[in-house]
Each structure stands twice: as structure tokens, then as C-alpha cells.
């Protein structure tokens, strides 16, 4: 018989909460390695989608402003941004033990809040 109080959902949420905390710590470490300061990171996991909201500290330099090189299509790519992408995808893969199949970074230039969305492979531990 199912539990109408929802305690089963709470038991399932504990590992998810631990995973969110681990991802936030890992992403914060990668950010620190690339940008110098440790940001505030809030992580949400919903199935195969991981969304991280990153708020940098005020004293951090704006790496994007210093290093941006815009292509004709408006996509910004630098050596530093490519390294960051590789490192952050590896951190998410290590934390989830799943392959990252998509990475979608967004930045609100007014608030300098970044949202990084990762889509991971559905099958746990599958090597592809």
C-alpha cells in the first residue's frame, strides 16, 4: 500500500539532494579554477536534465569581457571557454556517472547570473 504522507518521496529526495550538493561543489571548483573566485551555485536535477544557476562574487573579474571573441554567428568561443566547457562537462559526468550529451550555457549580462543546463545520457553507467 502506498504511503499517503509522501515519506517515500522524501527518502528518494535525499540522494538527489546529495547529488545536487556534489554537483554544486564540483561546478564551483571548476569555476574557481577558471575564474579565480568561488561562486554561489544552485543545482536542480530533474530526470536527465541538470540545471545550475551560478552567481559570481562581485570581486571576480569578468572573464567573458576580457576574453570574448565573437564569431559571425554570434557564438563566443575562446581557448578558455572551450577548456571550461570540457572541464565542467567532465565534472558533471563524474558526479552523475553519466555521459553529458548536451551543454547549454546562458548568461544574463545585466545581472551576470549564468544558467548552465546539462542533459545526461538516460542509462546509468552505460559506456558509449
Residue 40, beta-bridge partner list: 55
Residue appearing with cell numbers 529526495: 13
Q: Which of 125, 110, 117, 102 is nearest to 42 (CA)?
A: 117
Cβ–Cβ contacts within 10 Å for residue 21, how many?
A: 13
Reported as a pLDDT band with limits 50, 70 and 90, residue 115 is: very high
The class of domain 7-120 in CATH terms is alpha beta
Residue appearing with cell numbers 559526468: 93
- pTM of the predicted structure, to 2 decimals: 0.72
Digit-coded pLDDT (tens) for 57-100:
765 444 444 444 444 445 555 668 899 999 999 999 999 999 99
Query: At how many degrees (to 10) do helices 79-96 and 7-35 cross?
Result: 150
Amino acid at each position: 500500500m502506498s504511503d499517503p504522507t509522501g515519506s517515500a518521496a522524501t527518502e528518494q529526495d535525499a540522494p538527489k539532494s546529495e547529488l545536487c550538493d556534489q554537483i554544486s561543489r564540483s561546478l564551483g571548483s571548476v569555476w574557481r579554477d577558471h575564474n579565480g573566485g568561488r561562486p554561489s551555485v544552485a543545482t536542480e536535477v530533474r530526470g536527465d536534465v541538470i540545471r545550475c544557476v551560478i552567481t559570481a562574487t562581485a570581486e571576480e573579474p569578468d572573464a567573458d569581457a576580457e576574453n570574448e571573441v565573437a564569431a559571425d554567428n554570434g557564438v563566443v568561443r575562446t581557448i578558455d571557454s572551450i577548456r571550461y566547457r570540457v572541464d565542467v562537462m567532465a565534472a558533471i559526468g563524474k558526479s552523475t556517472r553519466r555521459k553529458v550529451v548536451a551543454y547549454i550555457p546562458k548568461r544574463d549580462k545585466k545581472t551576470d547570473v549564468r544558467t548552465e543546463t546539462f542533459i545526461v545520457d538516460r542509462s546509468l553507467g552505460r559506456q558509449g
